[in-house]
Structures are given as structure tokens and as C-alpha cells.
Amino acid sequence: MATTATPTDTAIDVRDLVVERGGRRVLDGVSCAVGRGTVTGLLGPSGSGKTTLMRAVVGVQTIRAGRVTVLGRPAGSPALRRTVGYLTQAPSVYADLTVRENARYFAALHGRGRAEADRAVADVGLADAAGQLVATLSGGQRSRASLACVLVGRPELVVLDEPTVGQDPVLRAELWTRFHAMAAEGTTLLVSSHVMDEAARCDRLLLVREGRLVADDTPAAVRARTGTDDLEEAFLRLIRASEDHPPDRRAPHPQRPDDTRAAQRRRPGREETS
Amino acid sequence: MSPRILAATTGRILRQLRHDRRTVVLLVVVPTVLLVLIHAMYADQPTPPGQRSLFDQVALVMLGFFPFVVMFLVTSIAMLRERTSGTLERLLTTPLRRLDLLFGYGIAFGLAGAVQAGIASAAAYWLLGLRTAGSIRLVVLIAAVNAVLAVALGLLCSAFARTEFQAVQFMPVVVLPQVLLCGLFVPRGQMAGWLQAISDVLPLSYAVEALQEVGAHAEPTGLMWRDLVIVAGSAVVALVLAAATLRRRSG
């Protein structure tokens, strides 16, 4: 299949990214890099800009300024449509088709066969529901059906927006095992989450808050820097630190840290301001 | 365009339709029921001297209307669903090209429209005694091309609707004026000049004229083929315009 123009160790390179939506700055000068074959967690409260950052990486977001390079090409390049897979937060599959029919369609778009589609369905634990209409599935099953339609293309870079929402703990663990198996085979994964115990499973963490990058480090380094083993507590400390020393002319945030903690524990709404 | 992706997309749209049994039944049955109604309405109307019976005139044009109206609505809603459910955005991140999607809709719903027209025509000719000088095959062909035109207009209009309510409102805006001015109610030659001018730029007028040519002549006429080319050409123009409304990037 398609090879990338400049084979380097960097899968995603974001430089000074600014995105404005409806007159509001959603991303305010974000710079970060994601290495190939890693699982990178994108964390932050609802509305922090996670989805917008992912959309910019996939190339579907209009950007105001900055540069996003993906697998050596500008984000959104036609060649990347074969190598980048994107799971939107709301499951975007056809409700009036069965799980199998959905997977086979997306497989066909990537030139993959029916056997591969059926395997992708089994890989997300939906083999028993393959013949079921998506409309009749539970929320968690639906989002796994959507995931199957991403994985069936065997992308080099997988961008997953909240893939484990609504999944039971056993399935969540299985999905993470699968993500790491994919990374071991060279796939790069960028995964957003609200759940802090998932942060610990990532090779690297990006913490976004109010459109800015608060942390970009390994879980171990984050723990060491903040002096706590609890990643949730670590993030709170990082956020407090960033509020004590605001990096620009922004007004102090009205939200108290305690609210942030509550927001991170809350079940995320289906529709994040994306 | 990629033949493989186009075929997969067409198949996917037809599979979606197949899962919706009630819609399939309605598509097939409703035109026939309405034709029976029209037949009963005109049963006692005298035939104007030297002309074909009123039922023959009206039913023939109706065979073109059914797929036009129905496929416009079905397509507007289907495409709006693609936009609102996120599947469109997802499709645009895959190797699928925009014309693969739009022609996929054109072929899938064009086929559905052809099946609908075929069944309605069979009922009109063999159940209700519709008579035309030309062949039933030409009638179905014109109705099928008309269905493709409706699909293309539906795809284009769905770009300007944010909700299903709005999408449905495009029916009276886009379809009804074409029905009123196509020459069924008042012959185009008897309309005021400005109405004729409007009628001349509405593609349905040419579909109706083509059907009337089949009604009046045993062999396909040059005018019929010209009209058919105009209808098909309008469909392609609408599809290309619809492609321009599909944006890969959004704010």
C-alpha cells in the first residue's frame, strides 16, 4: 500500500496550531509530536479542545494558523485517506445496516475483503451481533461497530475519539490490549479519554485544557513531576500550576479546580463541543 | 471515480433500502393505487374529439411524476442523514471520492425509481388499459432518467437543509413549480410568455414533453431523444453542483 514520503519516527507533528470556532479560540497555539508505533492518550475535560485537535490531525478541521504534519504529509492530504483511520465520538455507522454490512462497506472502501471485515467485527467483540441492525444495538456496541469500521482499513495512524465510552470494564481492558498489540505491529494510536485509569495505559500523555497543552510526557514523568502516583491528582496539580502561572494575558479561569475534578469523573455527554 | 468504490457504495445504499421493508412496499404500491384513483376520476369524462382520452394523457405524465417526486424526497432525507449522523464526514476521510458517493446515490435510487416506474407502468397498461402510440419501454426509460434527475436535485438541495423539516420543505419549492409548469395542467404553448420562459428552464418540462412524444408517436422521435438528453444533462449538472457542496474540511 501507500508508503509515506518521509519515513521518520514522528507520526504526528503539530506546530503552533490555532483553531477558532464561532469566534472562540478552541486551540490556542498547540505544539506536540506523536511518535510512530506508540499509544498516545489525549486527556482533558469536556470542551477542552480534544476533539478539535483530533479533527485537525485527521484533516477535517479548518485551522486558523499553524501546521499539522501527519506521516510526513500535511494533514488532510489525499494520500492520507488510505493510511489514517478516524473514529468520531458519536458512532458514525449506518443504523439501518447490520454490523457486518457496515464493516464490509468500509472494508470495500479500503480495498479489503469480506473476510477481513468479519475479522474486524470479531476483534471488537461483536461476532455474535454481526447480523444485527446497528439501530438495535446498545450504545457501547454501536461505538464498537464504529471502531470495527476504522480498524478494517488497517490504518497506519488511528485517531480514536473516546473509543471506550459506555464499554464494560472487561471489554475496555480487551480493547486496550488490542490497541497495544496494534502499536507493537507499528500502528500509531492517538486515543482521547475522560477516564484517568486509561491514561496509565498510554505510552505518552497529552493533557489539554482550555485549548492549551498543559502536559506532554510519559505517565511516569507526569507522576514524578507532580510528586503523586495518582494520575488524576497529578493532572489536578498540573492544571493548578498552569492556572497559577497563566502563560498569557488570559483572565483567570472562573472554574475552581474541584469543578474540574468533578467534570473529569462525570460520564461524558454524547456530544462534546467538537 | 473508482468502479470498486462506486459499486460498493451503490450496493450499500440499496441494502439500506432493502432493510426498510415498509418504504419498499410504499414505493411499489402507492403509484398503482393512485393510478387506479385517476382511472376512476376520469372514467366518465368524455374524450375530446380528435384527442387521446384524458386518462391516457394524465396517467402517462403521472408515470413520470411518481419517481420524480418520491426519489427527490427519499434522496434529500437519505443525504441529510449522511450529513447529520457523521457518516458523511467519516466517508470523506476514506479513499472514497465525492462523485463515487453522489453517483452511487444516482445509480441506487435511479434503479429504485426505474423499478417503481416499471411496476406502475405495467399496472397502467395492463390493469387500467393505458394506451400510447409508442412503447412502454420508452416510458419506463424516461421515468428512470427522470428519477435520476430527482436524485441529483435531492442531493443538491440536502446541502441547504439542516433538519429533516427543512429538507421536506424543498419539495414544494423545487418539485411543485416544475409539476405546475410542465404542461400537464395548461399546455406550455398556451401559457403567458414569462411562464413559458420559466417552464423552459425547468427540466421536468422536457421529461413530460418526451413522455407526450411517446404517447403520440409510434416510433421514438428526435424531439423525444433531445428532451431525454436535456433531462440527463440536467441530472449531471445537479450532481456536479452537489459535489461542490461536499466539504472535506469544516469549522
**Which of A22, A93, A97 has the CB atom closest to B15's CB atom?**
A97
B contacts of A90 (beta carbons < 8 Å): 85-86
Report, as an integer, the average pLDDT of A236-248: 74
- Measured in degrees and rounded to the nearest 5, phi and psi for residue A268 equal -70, 145
Q: Which residue of chain A has the CA closest to B12?
A: A105
Cell of B140: 419506463
Flag if B87 and A93 touch (Cβ within 8 Å). yes
- Helix (H) / strand (E) containing A29: strand A24-35
* Residue B48 pLDDT > 90: no
Q: Express each pLDDT in A180-204 by its tens digit.
A: 999 999 999 999 987 778 888 999 9
| Three-class DSSP labels, chain B | CCHHHHHHHHHHHHHHHHHCHHHHHHHHHHHHHHHHHHHHHCCCCCCCCCCCCHHHHHHHHHHHHHHHHHHHHHHHHHHHHHHHCCHHHHHCCCCCCHHHHHHHHHHHHHHHHHHHHHHHHHHHHHHCCCCCCCCHHHHHHHHHHHHHHHHHHHHHHHCCCCCHHHHHHHHHHHHHHHHHHCCCCCCHHHCCHHHHHHHHHCHHHHHHHHHHHHHHCCCCCHHHHHHHHHHHHHHHHHHHHHHHCCCCCEC
- Which residues, 6+ apart, have CB-to-CB distance to A194 below 8 Å? A43, A45, A46, A162, A165, A264, A266, A268
A contacts of B89 (beta carbons < 8 Å): 60, 88, 92
Contact A209, A45 (CB under 8 A): yes
Flag if A110 and B94 touch (Cβ within 8 Å). yes
Shortest CA gap B19–chain A (Å) = 7
Instruction: Name which of B97, B157, B109 is nearest B13 in CA terms.
Output: B109
* Residue A168 pLDDT > 50: yes
**Which of A93, A97, A109 has the CB atom closest to B96's CB atom?**
A109
Q: Express each pLDDT in B131-184 by its tens digit.
A: 999 999 999 999 999 999 999 999 999 989 889 899 999 999 999 999 999 998
Flag if B86 and A101 touch (Cβ within 8 Å). no
Contact A16, A67 (CB under 8 A): yes
Flag if B249 and A62 touch (Cβ within 8 Å). yes
* Cβ-based neighbour number of residue A208 at 10 Å: 23
* Residue A264 pLDDT > 90: no
Residue A259 has a pLDDT of: 42
Flag if B90 and A86 touch (Cβ within 8 Å). yes
* Residue A170 pLDDT > 70: yes
CA A114 to chain centre: 27
* Residue A103 pLDDT > 60: yes
3-state secondary structure of A10: strand
Residue with grid cell 422536457, as numbered in its chain: B206
What single-letter amino acid sits at B138? L
Flag if A111 and B89 touch (Cβ within 8 Å). no
Quote the CA–CA distance of A14 and A30 in Å, as a whole number.
Answer: 7
Shortest CA gap A93–chain B (Å) = 6
Shortest CA gap B82–chain A (Å) = 8
3-state secondary structure of A172: helix
The total number of residues shown for chain B amounts to 251
Residue with grid cell 474541584, as numbered in its chain: A258
Report, as an integer, the average pLDDT of A230-247: 79
B contacts of A76 (beta carbons < 8 Å): 248-249
Cα-based distances in Å from A11 to A41, A181, A232:
14, 17, 27
Q: What is the DSSP letter of A79?
A: G
Shortest CA gap B238–chain A (Å) = 25
- Helix (H) / strand (E) containing A179: helix A169-184
Contact B150, B68 (CB under 8 A): yes
Quote the CA–CA distance of A12 and A189 in Å, as a whole number.
Answer: 10
Quote the CA–CA distance of A146 and B199 in Å, as a whole number.
Answer: 47
Quote the CA–CA distance of B110 and B103 in Å, as a whole number.
Answer: 10
- Helix (H) / strand (E) containing A14: strand A10-21
* Residue B238 pLDDT > 60: yes
Residue A3 has a pLDDT of: 42
Confidence band, pLDDT 50/70/90 cuts, at residue A245: low
**Which of A84, A101, A111 has the CB atom closest to B15's CB atom?**
A101
Q: Which residue of chain B has the CA closest to A102?
A: B12
Residue A135 has a pLDDT of: 96
Q: Express each pLDDT in B62-118 by its tens digit.
A: 999 999 999 999 999 999 999 999 999 999 999 999 999 999 999 999 999 999 999
- Helix (H) / strand (E) containing A34: strand A24-35
Domain boundaries, chain B: 3-170+238-245
- Which residues, 6+ apart, have CB-to-CB distance to B161 below 8 Å? B76, B80, B167, B169, B170
Residue B26 has a pLDDT of: 93
Q: Express each pLDDT in B181-212 by its tens digit.
A: 999 889 999 999 999 999 999 999 999 999 99
Flag if B95 and A110 touch (Cβ within 8 Å). yes
* Residue A166 pLDDT > 90: no
Flag if A81 and B95 touch (Cβ within 8 Å). yes
**Which of A61, A81, A96 has the CB atom closest to B94's CB atom?**
A81
Shortest CA gap B243–chain A (Å) = 16
- Measured in degrees and rounded to the nearest 5, phi and psi for residue A16 equal 50, 45
What sign has the CA pseudo-torsion B32, B38, B40, B45?
A: negative
Q: Which of the two residues, A137 and A7, has the higher pLDDT score?
A: A137
Flag if B250 and A60 touch (Cβ within 8 Å). yes
- Whether this prediction's pTM lies above 0.90 is answered by no
3-state secondary structure of A226: helix
Report, as an integer, the average pLDDT of B116-131: 95
Cell of B32: 398503482
- Helix (H) / strand (E) containing A242: helix A231-244
Task: State the Cα angle at A68 between A160 and A88, rounded to 5°.
Answer: 20
Shortest CA gap A206–chain B (Å) = 23
Residue A256 has a pLDDT of: 41
Task: State the Cα angle at B50 between B31 and B209, rounded to 5°.
Answer: 45
Q: Which residue of chain A has the CA closest to B10?
A: A105
Confidence band, pLDDT 50/70/90 cuts, at residue A247: low
Cα-based distances in Å from A42 to A18, A56, B214:
17, 14, 65
Best mutation target, A18, A64, A81, to test chain B (most B CBs within 10 A): A81
Q: Express each pLDDT in A44-73 by its tens digit.
A: 888 889 999 999 999 999 999 999 999 999
Least confident piece of the model among A98-102, A251-255, B90-94, B233-237: A251-255
Q: Report the relative pairing of strands A157-161 and A188-193 from DSSP bridges.
A: parallel
Flag if A92 and B4 touch (Cβ within 8 Å). no
Confidence band, pLDDT 50/70/90 cuts, at residue A246: low
Per DSSP, helices labelled H in A185-227 are 196-199, 219-226
Q: Report the relative pairing of strands A73-74 and A65-70 from DSSP bridges.
A: antiparallel
* Cβ-based neighbour number of residue A174 at 10 Å: 15
* Residue B52 pLDDT > 70: yes
Flag if A58 and B5 touch (Cβ within 8 Å). no
Task: State the Cα angle at B19 between B17 and B21, rounded to 5°.
Answer: 85
Residue B98 has a pLDDT of: 92
Q: Express each pLDDT in A3-24 by its tens digit.
A: 444 446 899 999 999 999 988 9
Quote the CA–CA distance of B130 and A186 in Å, as a whole number.
Answer: 67
